[in-house]
Amino acid sequence: MKKFLVYLPSILLLVILFFIWEAIVDVFNINSQVLPAPSAIFSAYIGHATILIPHIMTTLIETLLGLICAIVLGVFTAILLRLSATVRKALYPLLIISQTIPIIALAPLLLIWFGFTILPKVIIVTLVCFFPITVAFADGMEKVSQQIITLLQSMKASRLQILFLAELPGALPSFFSGLRIAAAYSVTGAIVGEYVGGYQGLGIYMQNAAHSYAVVLVFVVIIITSLLSILLFGAIVLLEKIFVPWRN
């Protein structure tokens, strides 16, 4: 409840902004083809909910699968970077260079290679989320106090024991910071992937809506997208509370 109160000012501000938006559309009699009022967006969502829900589910599944792949790959890579100086020297510069490749340019290629399935979208989400997770996790392991490592070495701990007793748990707080950033990108990643081509998903729905000048539905999708991101963010904060209990 206390946590909720922290967000109260921003929720209030958001409500006020929506009211102003509603009033402007009303007073200036703006065409809903250009800027629909919030109330119109809400009733459009209610009207299209049954059609929208499968699209939402598709996008959500792509996002979650991509995020999970990114976590597995990211953690694995970070551990490799930590354990082997050779791997670090070889891989780290390449990882950074890989971030200069525009994902939006990769999307059509992935579509050509993997077709209209959900696979290209999952890959895009993975690519987008992989980097922040890897860097945050590697950083977190780096930050574990040298005193603790020295202590474990003096106790004749093996390299693996040091990894599991100190470096992995010590990196968890950083990992969750990285995961929060990745989650913020992830939904957008899935939608970009769908934009390029597919059968179902919010990206496709939005494109169809835009092509048929159903501006109100574009707004519906935008709001759903941001709600999904907030939901994901909240889930990660909750996971962090469970897995990082010593921080509370």
The conformation of residue 122, written as its DSSP 8-state character, comes to H
Based on the shown chain and the rule CB under 8 A, indicate whether residue 239 belongs to the binding site for another protein. Answer: no
Based on the shown chain and the rule CB under 8 A, indicate whether residue 154 belongs to the binding site for another protein. Answer: yes
Q: Which of 120, 132, 140, 170 binds another protein (CB under 8 A)?
A: 170
Q: Which of 150, 213, 226, 230 binds another protein (CB under 8 A)?
A: 150
Based on the shown chain and the rule CB under 8 A, indicate whether residue 160 belongs to the binding site for another protein. Answer: no
Q: Which of 16, 112, 155, 239 binds another protein (CB under 8 A)?
A: 155
> Using DSSP, how many helices (H) and how many strands (E) does the chain show?
10, 0
User: Which listed range, 39-47, 95-103, 109-117, 156-164, lies at the site for another protein (CB under 8 A)?
Assistant: 156-164
Write the Ramachandran bin of 110: left for phi over 0, alpha for psi from -120 to 50, otherwise beta: alpha
Based on the shown chain and the rule CB under 8 A, indicate whether residue 246 belongs to the binding site for another protein. Answer: yes
Rounded Cα distance, 232 and 218, in Å: 21
Token readout for 247 is: 């921080």
199 vs 243 by CB, closer to another protein: 243
Residues 231/234/238/241 CA torsion (nearest 10 deg): 160
73 vs 149 by CB, closer to another protein: 149
Q: Which of 6, 156, 211, 212 binds another protein (CB under 8 A)?
A: 156
